[in-house]
Amino acid sequence: MENLQLDKFWREKGNLSKALILLEFSKGNSKFVDVGKNLGLTAQAVSFYAKELQRDRFIDSSLKVTMEGKEFLQKFLASMGSFLSKAYQDSGIVLTCEAIAAEPLNRGDKVYLYLESGDLFATKRQMKGSNGIALDDAKPGEALRIGNLSGIVDVKVGKFYMIRTDLEFCREKKNLDRVQEFIKKNEIEKIFVFGTIAKTLAKKINLNFHEFAPVEGAFEACARGFNILLIFSPEMVKFTYLKISENVDKYGINPQTVEV
């Protein structure tokens, strides 16, 4: 299915039930009672949808799936996979994760997760927030996988600041001093630069900065609890705000533009 067709498909009432019933018919299940039992529907509902499937030429009068029905099923299952994958990504829900062992852990241990200095740690010490089951043995400091996750990791999100710079700003020593003062006063832990002028400013005052995927990296660092500063050049204004708009809802973080 094309994206527009898929969007319309999910919005129309009963389409998912029709597709699932067609899938049951393709497996040789033709008794309305049995199909309904498998899908949590009444036999009457299955009969109703079967008539619609026959009208769409997806099944014939003997409930056999037609070539059109098979092609529809193939497209439906492929699009459903894409739909669920995107929904899963957009929701931010995870069922497994990786963490660092805070103490000796054995496979099968119930562990509790916490964030420290941007890293996720697992411990057997009972804590509020997220917990799961260790899927590997691990010594302190080693990485391991955690499954059967439940709850949400208690995270104190950092602060996200942005400074727009330009050539004139960079050439004034007092401005450079103000940037340094701002970084110190607001306990900035991670600095990201977007654009050549921004990078030049950062180099002039010997900042330790990140320049690749700066906007995305800034959001990720902030979500992990770091106070961050994003410095961007005039030529990057459009791209900066475009990338911000793509990430605001995902992370629930609203950057603050400041003047120094």
Delineate the domains of the chain, giving CATH numbers in brackets: 3-91 (1.10.10), 97-150 (no CATH), 160-257 (3.40.1010)
- Mean pLDDT check: name the lowest of 103-112, 148-157, 202-211, 232-241: 148-157
Over residues 98-148, the pLDDT tens digits come to 999 999 999 999 999 998 888 899 999 998 888 999 999 999 999 999 988
Q: Tell me, what's the pLDDT at 195? A: 95
Q: Tell me, what's the pLDDT at 1? A: 46
Quick one: 38 exposed, middle or buried, by C-beta within 10 A (0-12, 13-18, 19+)?
Answer: middle
Over residues 33-51, the pLDDT tens digits come to 888 888 888 889 889 888 9
Q: Tell if the pTM clears 0.75, that is, is over it.
A: no
Q: Tell me, what's the pLDDT at 14? A: 64
Q: Tell me, what's the pLDDT at 68? A: 87
